[in-house]
Amino acid sequence: MAIYAIGDIQGCYNELQLLLEKIRFDAAQDRLWLVGDLVNRGPDSLRVLRLVKSLGDRAITVLGNHDLHLLAVAAGEAELHRGDTLDEVLNAPDRDELLVWLRHQRLLYAEAGYVLVHAGLLPQWSVTQALGLGQEVEQALRGDDYAVFFEHMYGNSPHGWRDDHRGYKRLRVIANALTRMRICTPQGDMEFKFKGEVEKVPHGYLPWFDLPGRKSAEVTVIFGHWSALGLQVRGDVIALDTGCLWGGPLTAIRLEDRQLFQVMCKDPVAQDW
């Protein structure tokens, strides 16, 4: 049995299929760990969702910001953005089945010294604490009143974590850290506008994974979300968003020996987001 972690797919179904062929994925034995953003901007989010759902417990996915955006639009709590490619999912005959399945995916997953998350972990959070906080958002997504969560999800404030945050303010900070964060101050104050190369991080900020004293540094965090960062493979982090959507490769890594596998995007999206 092998475990393969795969970067942001974002509706690039053909590239995903080619990558699965390249790694010789055996659904009877192997497992996939997906860093989130299964959907949007790419051409075939519907088939990506159907494929990943069909794999059952052979595929573990955490939710990314684009996955949450799809769910918010479907719940009537957000509007489609320019460049969104979600109409096919929203109009599919199996829409409700797929969206219920998506709402029941994790925000965070930990196993055998690895943590899987879409964006990152705040420096104050241990893995145990982060798992508990992620479960708070998961419970909100899975409840009958999940649409109320999406009503309050959008926004950049509060910028940082406090243990006494309550209600939807608390859930918003958790969701923002796990699905949107790239950089923050040493105190854990997040900034959400920056998307560029690591060399251009604004003064006073650091990539979240380079913050001194980060409490999750004892495990290897596997994440995506930051295409301009590119591929990073080191002891404490593995960054897998290699920008397939923009013409780069879709990347997988086999965890047992850290062997990399890549296929190039066939039809990159022209505009940035």
pLDDT tens digits, 197-208: 999 999 999 999
Whether 215 shows a pLDDT value over 50: the answer reads yes
The CB density around residue 71, as the number of other CB atoms within 10 Å, is: 23
pLDDT number for residue 269? 64
Q: Is residue 45 part of a domain?
A: yes
Q: Which amino acid is at 171?
A: L
Residue 186 in domain: yes
Q: Is residue 95 part of a domain?
A: yes
Segments forming the whole domain that contains residue 104: 3-264
Residue 269 lies in a domain: no
pLDDT value of residue 273 = 36
C-alpha distances (whole Å) from 38 to each of 6, 10, 52, 236 are: 10, 5, 9, 24
* Total of domains in the chain: 1
- Residue 212 confidence (pLDDT) above 50: yes
Distances (CA, A) of 56 to 28, 60, 141: 11, 8, 19
- CB-count exposure of residue 53 (10 Å: 0-12, 13-18, 19+): middle
Helix (H) or strand (E) holding 17: helix 13-22
Q: Is residue 272 part of a domain?
A: no
Q: Specify the CATH number for the domain of residue 198.
A: 3.60.21.10
How do residues 225-250 score in pLDDT, each as one tens digit?
Answer: 999 999 999 999 999 999 998 899 99
